[in-house]
Amino acid sequence: MTRTLSPVRLCQRDTPLEPMHRLRKLVGGPHILIKRDDCTGLALGGNKSRKLEYLLAEALREKADVVVTGGALQSNHVRQTAAAAAHLGLDCHVVLERRIVSPGVEYETSGNLLLDRLFGAIIHDVPPEASPAATLDGVAGQLGQAGRRVYVVPPGGSSTVGARGYIDCAGELIAQAAELGRPLDLIIHPTNSGGTQAGLVAGLSERGSDARVLGVSVGRDQAAQEAIVRSLADAIAEESGLDADLGARVRVDDRFVGPGYGQLDGPTLDAIRTVAEYEGILLDPVYTGKAMACLLDLIRTDNVSSSSTVVFLHTGGAPGLFAYASVLNEQLHT
Ligand SMILES: *Cc1c(COP(=O)(O)O)cnc(C)c1O
């Protein structure tokens, strides 16, 4: 294994793995555990924190003085990167893409975007007609020409380096489930740039666990999303000399994409409300609400055995709720 890079400490690891008692009572079915990666602590938490511990360790090793990354206007990844950079004393430039028509004025002023500004990130918009990747390359190139040492964090933090955070998380899950005396049958979580799912399947395989992992797509169709996760999983296997067919373990459910990335629909809102009212836990409109809508559907349609144990990996995202204040308020009236 070529894993000489130690992570830089940015967040809480060993996040809690807890039962969702009241939700289980409501929906019946399997034991439901929630892995609280919304509680990683860095800038209100989320799954990018674990990836950034490895990515920014590489940035420091390369003696970077500025990090550049990108994402959607309400990206959780960008918010956590901006905070991590501030913590480490690195400058941070971010390229933000208007991926959707704003659901309300708060989408442009609140939520993650407000926090990016608070952390002192320098924000670049993707010009109309330009591609986000080309804009990011341009920003990084200009900083380099100005004599800066630039480290580019891939969007979503999903590279073989970033995914190590979720190889670690798989180990935590195995140990914590054993401590609770529960098997690990199914792990379900939202998937987009793929690092979370690829890291998990690699970490489980490495440790001989045959837990199933189901990624819930938040924008792409099943084939496209599986291809993204598989290619990263294959790259991890190759880099670490892991002799396992990781691609075969990658499964994606795309039935809860709804109208598209970042668009709040009925099943997502129902899932957010249910978990808020029954567990006092916040989900988000873009990622975890969709993944929970999928889990609730799988339980209601008897697609998860009631004797099994399901882990819902809470990947964070609740700061994004405030970007949807107008549409949420409208819906919560009814
Ligand atoms: C980025 C993100 C995801 C998706 O994780 P990937 O590793 O990009 O697939 C899921 N949930 C939240 C809240 C996120 O911010």
Give the phi and the psi of residue 127 in degrees, each rounded to 5: -65, 150
Ligand 1: atom nearest CA of 320 is: 13
- Whether residue 316 has its Cβ less than 6 Å from ligand 1: yes
Residue nearest to atom 15 of ligand 1 (CA): 76
Tokens of 308: 């099994």
pLDDT tens column, 228-242: 999 999 999 999 999
- The confidence score (pLDDT) of residue 3 equals 59
154: closest CA among 142, 163, 165?
163
Q: How confident is the model at residue 101 (pLDDT cuts 50, 70, 90)?
A: confident
> Among this protein's residues, is 75 annotated catalytic?
yes
Ligand 1: atom nearest CA of 316 is: 13
Ligand 1: atom nearest CA of 229 is: 9
Bridging pattern class, strands 66-72 and 17-19: unpaired
- How far CA 60 is from CA of 84, 142, 149, 191, 217, in Å, comes to 12, 20, 10, 28, 33
Asked if 256 contacts 268 with a C-beta cutoff of 8 angstroms, the reply is yes
Q: How confident is the model at residue 1 (pLDDT cuts 50, 70, 90)?
A: very low
- How far CA 267 is from CA of 76, 257, 260, 327, in Å, comes to 22, 10, 13, 14
- Whether residue 76 has its Cβ less than 6 Å from ligand 1: yes
CA 144 – CA 151 distance, rounded (Å): 10
pLDDT tens column, 259-302: 999 999 999 999 999 999 999 999 999 999 999 999 999 999 99
CA 140 – CA 162 distance, rounded (Å): 19
Q: How many CA atoms lie within 13 A of 309 on its CB side?
A: 19
Asked if 50 contacts 196 with a C-beta cutoff of 8 angstroms, the reply is no
pTM of the model: 0.97
- Average pLDDT of the residues in 44-63: 98
Interval between CA 289 and ligand 1 midpoint (Å): 12
Give the phi and the psi of residue 213 in degrees, each rounded to 5: -120, 125
